[in-house]
Chain A
């Protein structure tokens, strides 16, 4: 099935460092969304990148999309303790905008 697979599964860094999370998917897509989830909370939408965009920025976030490699990456620069969360990429499963989720990357930012 079409679901994003995040790598690494877990990442621990110090505050101020950059965090990079990768996502791979299986079939062609025309967009991909990234989400953050704090423990036990709802998913917060971070960014949507379309297939005609190679890179997109939002504050300290930078997302890339390589459709030829079926991969995407999320970079968080100058990380903060508040960035500690799980991060999910979500490619659409079908034209109906159904999203599928992998296991996510659990990011811990140590103060």
Chain B
């Protein structure tokens, strides 16, 4: 158990809908990362937050947004969903944002868009 908690574990929704994925980082970790894993794209970095502020952006679509709240949990919002958004979405956390901090991953949220 990495200590990173993600909900829901599985989600099936229709195209055009909006979903929210939630992440609780390890106790004391200030940095949260979101990744998307799909068969054709592999593991893609989406976005990073540190202590409530956005720190880095990767291949995140404009239809997607995220935030980190004062209690350090984070949410990834996916809107106007398309079939191609079906993937495993991971949240990860680390104590600090500097390179060299071990990053721990949650079990992921399986999103299926039908």
Partners in one complex: yes
Residue on B nearest A97 in the bound complex, by CB: B99
**B-binding segment of A17-25, A37-45, A56-64:** A37-45
Q: Does B106 contact A (CB under 8 A)?
A: yes
**In the docked arrangement, what's the CA distance between A102 and B42, Å?**
7
Query: A residues within 8 A CB of B107?
Result: 41-42
**In the docked arrangement, what's the CA distance between A90 and B90, Å?**
15
Residues B48 and A35 in contact, CB atoms below 8 Å apart? no
**In the docked arrangement, what's the CA distance between A95 and B97, Å?**
8
Given the known interface contacts A42-B90, A97-B31, A98-B56, the answer about A103 and B42 at a Cβ–Cβ threshold of 8 Å is yes
Could you tell me the distance in whole angstroms from the C-beta of B65 to the nearest C-beta in chain A?
A: 18
Contact pattern, A 30-70, Cβ under 8 Å of B = 1, otherwise 0: 11010100001111110010100000000000000000000
Residues A42 and B105 in contact, CB atoms below 8 Å apart? yes
Residues B100 and A50 in contact, CB atoms below 8 Å apart? yes
Q: Does B88 contact A (CB under 8 A)?
A: yes
Q: Could you tell me how many residues of chain A have their Cβ less than 8 Å away from some Cβ of chain B?
A: 27
> A33, A92, A96 — which one has the most chain B CB atoms within 10 A of its CB?
A96
**In the docked arrangement, what's the CA distance between A102 and B31, Å?**
22
Residues A31 and B99 in contact, CB atoms below 8 Å apart? yes
Residues B33 and A98 in contact, CB atoms below 8 Å apart? yes
**In the docked arrangement, what's the CA distance between A40 and B110, Å?**
9
- Which of B55, B96, B99, B105 is the one whose CB lies under 8 Å from A45? B105
Query: B residues within 8 A CB of A50?
Result: 100
- Which of B48, B88, B96, B110 is the one whose CB lies under 8 Å from A98? B48
Q: Does B17 contact A (CB under 8 A)?
A: no
Residue on A nearest B47 in the bound complex, by CB: A98
9 contacts between A and B (CB under 8 A): A41-B108, A45-B103, A48-B102, A88-B43, A90-B103, A93-B45, A97-B94, A98-B58, A101-B42
Given contacts A33-B103, A45-B102, 16 further A-B contacts (CB under 8 A): A30-B99, A30-B100, A33-B102, A42-B106, A43-B90, A43-B92, A50-B100, A93-B45, A95-B99, A96-B55, A96-B56, A96-B97, A96-B98, A96-B99, A97-B103, A104-B42
